Amino acid sequence: MKKIYLFANWKMYLNLRESQELAGDFTRLAVKMSPSVEMAVFPSALAWASIRDVLNLADIRLGAQNVYWVDKGGYTGEISAAMYKEAGCHYALVGHSERRHQFNESNSEVRKKMEAVLTAGLTPVLCVGETDQERADGMSEQIVRRQVARALTDLDWSFDHELFIAYEPVWAISKSGVGVACDAREAERMHAVIKKEVNAILPNVKPIILYGGSVRPENIAEYLSSSLVDGVLVGGASVKSDSWQSMVKISSQVNID
């Protein structure tokens, strides 16, 4: 029975009250969850402290949606990886497609964040994926390999660190609940590409590879049924309690089957 990772990226969908209510729902769900399923939540920075203790009681780990690579200083609006670690954070998203494409985050900046996350003692969730145009041009593999290589090559890696990589094709990420999911076989193929690239750079590291991009109750089983898919990074569907409940139930059942 493999371990399945269900990561909920709440993005900027919820206000403080909504975050607290959903955290309560997640906590009640965790009690019924299969021990082979691990849940993590990436709330907004404002909601972080108010839901931390509730989620910790249910062994639900917390993650940061974004970090800055300098520990302290005059960087208005930023929160460092070190600060998140001190607050009890476990994971940190690095290079999410919305950071890369809406905020022009470069591969160089992603690399700096990877270094900061590891130095702080957080577990990185490196996000990679191609745009619709890059896919149409037949460059999916090239783009993803480059993103992985720029983030990991010559990185000072400790054997104590886990490496999570989320393959999230930009063209598949939903906006306000609307998105076209990547075919499960294509996702599996790209996961194999990622695994091979990581092995070439860090041969002693076994990456935990997640799929992200319009994951819903209707398609989650297709992804999790693959031996190359270790879990999912869910956006819009993770902020709907009934939807998340369905995905938790399906994930537990997939592992039994």
Give whole-number Cα distances, 197 to 48, 129, 148, 187, 210, in Å. Answer: 34, 14, 7, 15, 15
Cα 2 vs. chain centroid, distance in angstroms?
18
Point out the catalytic residue in the list 96, 98, 188, 191: 96
**What confidence score (pLDDT) does residue 257 get?**
55
Measured distance CA(16)–CA(118) in Å, rounded: 29
pLDDT at 180 over 90: no
Say what percent of the chain tops pLDDT 70.
96
CB atoms within 10 A of CB 178: 8
How far apart are the C-alpha atoms of 90 and 162, rounded to whole Å?
A: 11
Helix or strand or coil: residue 178? strand
Residue 2: pLDDT band (50, 70, 90) is confident
Predicted local distance difference test score (pLDDT) of residue 256: 53
Examine the pLDDT at 247 and tell me if it is beyond 90.
Answer: yes
- Per residue in 160-174, pLDDT tens? 789 999 999 998 876
Domains and CATH numbers, the chain: 4-256 (3.20.20.70)
* Active-site residue identified among 38, 168, 197, 222: 168
CA-CA distance, 170 to 134, in Å (whole number)? 10
Question: 47 near 20, Cβ under 8 Å?
Answer: yes
Please provide residue 70's backbone torsions phi and psi, each rounded to the nearest 5 degrees.
-100, 135
- For residue 168, indicate whether it is catalytic: yes
Q: What are the distances in angstroms from CA 216 to CA 157, 174, 193?
A: 34, 10, 24
| Whether residue 18 lies in the annotated active site | no
Residue 107's pLDDT is 96
CA distance 215 to 196: 24
Q: How confident is the model at residue 147, as a pLDDT?
A: 98
pLDDT confidence tier of residue 60, bands split at 50, 70 and 90: very high
Which distant-in-sequence residues (6+ apart) come within 8 Å of 69 by Cβ?
A: 80, 81, 109, 112, 113, 115, 116
